[in-house]
Chain A
Amino acid sequence: MNMAQNSTFLFYGFLAAWVLMLFYVISLARRGARLKKELEDVKQLVNSSQKDRQKEIPSRVR
C-alpha cells in the first residue's frame, strides 16, 4: 500500500463525511424554505376567510 493511495483514500474519507453533512444541511434548508412558504400561504388563507366572515355579519344584522 503506497503513500499516494493512502492519501487519496484519506481525501475520499473526508470528502464522504463532508458530503453527507452537506446533503443533510441542504435538505434542511429546502424543508425550511418549503415550510416558510406554506406558513405564508396558510396565514393568507386564514386572513381571507376571516375577512369573508366579517363581510357576512353586517348583512345579517341588517
Chain B
Amino acid sequence: MAAKDLAIEVRTKESINAAGAFSIAILVIFSFAFDPLSDSMHEFAGGLLWVAFAFAGALVFNRGFARELPNECLDALLSSPLSASSLILGKALANFVMLIAVELISLFVFGIFYNINWAKHTLELAATLALATWGIAVLGSVFGAMTVNLRLRELMLPVIIYPLLIPLLISAIEFTTILLGVDPIAPSDWLWLKLLLLYDVVFTAVSILLADTILVN
C-alpha cells in the first residue's frame, strides 16, 4: 500500500514539491518577523520549524486520500482483501516518508537561513523528527480518510486535526528547541520525548481499532 503511494509520488513529485516549497516559504516569511541572526533565535527555532512542518503536512494529507477519488479507486481499494487498518497505516507510512523528506530539506535550508547548527544532537533530533512525524502522519491519514467524501474537505481536515495535534506539537517544539539550543539536555527534558512516544503508541492503537469504523463502505 505504502509502496504504491510512494511510487506515484516519486514519479509525479506533486506533494513533496508543493509541501517543500510551502515550508520554505514559511521559513522565509518568518525571517521578516524575527531577526534571524540574533542569539534569541534559539528560543523560537523549535516552534518555527514545527509550525512549518505542521502546515506543510496538511498539504500532504489532503492529497493522500483525495488522490483515490477519481475513477473510484477508493471503492476498489475498500473491496480488496486489504484490511481497513492496513489501508490507513499504509497511507500513513507513505505520508510519513514524504513528510520526512520535506522536513529534511527544510532543516537544511533553516540551518542556512537562521544560522542554527542542527547537527549537535543528530540522534536525538532524528528520533524527535521520526516520532513526531509519525504521529502527524497517522492522524493525517485517519482524518484524511474520514473527510475524503465530505464537502469542504480541505477546510474540515485542518479544523479537526490541529487541535488534536496540539500535545504532539508542544512536545516536539519543546524538545527541538532544547536540541537546537546552547544548553546541554537536562534529565527532565526527556519527558518530552517520552510524551511523543506515548502519543504515537496511543493514537496508532486507536487508529487501528477504529479503522474499520471509519473506512466501512
Question: A–B direct touch, CB within 8 Å, in complex?
Answer: no
Partner-A contacts on B (CB < 8 A): none
Partner-B contacts on A (CB < 8 A): none
